[in-house]
Amino acid sequence: MKKSLITCAALAACVALPSFAQQQLTIVNFGGANANAQKKAYYEPFEKTGTKVVAVEYNGEQAKIKAMVETKKVTWDVVEVESPDAVRGCDEGLFEKLDYSKIGDKADFLPAAVTECGVGVFVWSTVMAYNGDKLKTAPSSWADFFDTKKIPGKRGMRKGARYNLEFALIADGVKPADVYKVLATKEGADRAFKKLTDLKPNIQWWEAGAQAPQFLVAGDVVLSTVYNGRIDAANREGRNLKIYWPGGIYDLDYWVIPKGAPNKDLAMKFLAFGTQANNQAVYAQNIAYGPTNTKALAKLDKKVLDDLPTSASNAKEALQFNVSFWADQGEALEKRFAAWATQ
């Protein structure tokens, strides 16, 4: 009896082995509505190819990746990173170099999406927004954002130099195409800070992305800078928040593979899968972030396109976030901003 039980247990273990042998891929993201959209568009469909996807949330801690790589104890396979970290991590040797022959045709992607160590996942934008139920006179320029006589009330702004300095110069008459050229000069930086100083008594700062739409819904501010995906998420919950697109600053998030990732080849297959036009179209339908594969746009209806940073009308007067500028001058400008904010 004991022998037969042992034999049965051994057989059961053998039968169970295939499930333990299933491939597993650990993918790291920033959580929230973005993570939910990625789950529907990428993770769940990819699991149908025979790979279990383990999703992990983080707050962009580059130090964690660095520690894994340096100790050769890498447990993450694919990580979503913001553009400055994609550049810096590549320079520091933290990420694998990508083989685009295994990912897709570079010509199908936005130029900014193709980098040495990272492939663009989506395009997001920092824009001006307002509450359609509360504001009678809609803004028609960034000058309106800074004009509290024309549109009285508080303004919501992210607490930091990035984006605010660009918006201040646009409001002061600088064309989006010339913003970084002007901001790179001492006179240009002074001009941006002077514009912000004029508005300062009417600014209500936000630090977390969720705060800006909350301020608008509550009526704490009449206009606010905000991440466009946050407006989309609020409107899916029944709000009536509106975006002013011209002069918005767009940027990309990227997928990278940490150096020494345990499943590098499988991670490359996921990058190829996640950047296919069909899957990127599904993602854009679940959150208003633009696809990096330009062929995905043809698969989206007008209602979805109207809310994307990458649609022709919304991108027409947009400004691309200049990663190299902020890498070079960002530290000094952020220090100056921090001192200015406390004055």
Integer Cα distance of 176 and 246 in angstroms: 9
Q: Is the pLDDT of residue 186 over 50?
A: yes
Q: What's the CA gap between 287 and 271, in Å, rounded?
A: 19
DSSP 3-state of 288: coil
Residue 191, SS3 per DSSP: helix
267-295 pLDDT, tens per residue?
999 999 999 999 999 999 999 999 999 99
Contacts of 110 (CB under 8 A, 6+ apart): 120, 123, 252, 292, 294, 310
Superfamily of domain covering 124-250+320-342: Periplasmic binding protein-like II (3.40.190.10)
Residue 17 has pLDDT above 90, yes or no: no
- Give residue 10's pLDDT: 47
Question: What tokens does 4 get?
Answer: 């037969």
What does the pLDDT average to over 153-176? 97
Structure tokens at 288: 């208003």
Residue 8: per-residue pLDDT: 45
Residue 15 has pLDDT above 60, yes or no: no
pLDDT exceeds cutoff 50 at 78:
yes
Confidence of residue 21 (pLDDT cuts 50, 70, 90): low
Q: What is the mean pLDDT of the chain?
A: 92
Pairwise CA distance, residues 99 & 253, whole Å: 19
Was domain 19-123+252-315 assigned CATH 3.40.190.10?
A: yes
What is the tens place of the pLDDT at every residue in 216-251? 999 999 999 999 999 998 999 999 999 999 999 999
SS3 205: strand
SS3 content of the chain, % helix, strand, coil (to 5): 50, 20, 30
Q: Domain limits of the chain?
A: 19-123+252-315, 124-250+320-342
40 Cβ contact partners less than 8 Å away, ≥ 6 residues apart: 282, 283, 286
In b/e form, how buried is each residue of 58-89, taking b as 16+ CB within 10 angstroms? bebebeebbebbeeeebebbbbbbbbbbbbbb
Q: Are 228 and 125 in contact (CB under 8 A)?
A: yes
Token pair for 8: 């049965």
Q: What is the DSSP letter of 1?
A: -
Report the C-alpha gap between 1 and 4 in whole angstroms.
Answer: 5
Which range, 12-21, 98-107, 304-313, has the best average confidence (pLDDT)? 98-107
What pLDDT does 240 receive?
Answer: 97
Question: Matching CATH topology for 19-123+252-315 and 124-250+320-342?
Answer: yes
Confidence of residue 173 (pLDDT cuts 50, 70, 90): very high
Contact 195, 143 (CB under 8 A): no
**Judging by beta carbons within 10 Å of its beta carbon (0-12, 13-18, 19+), is residue 306 exposed, middle or buried?**
middle
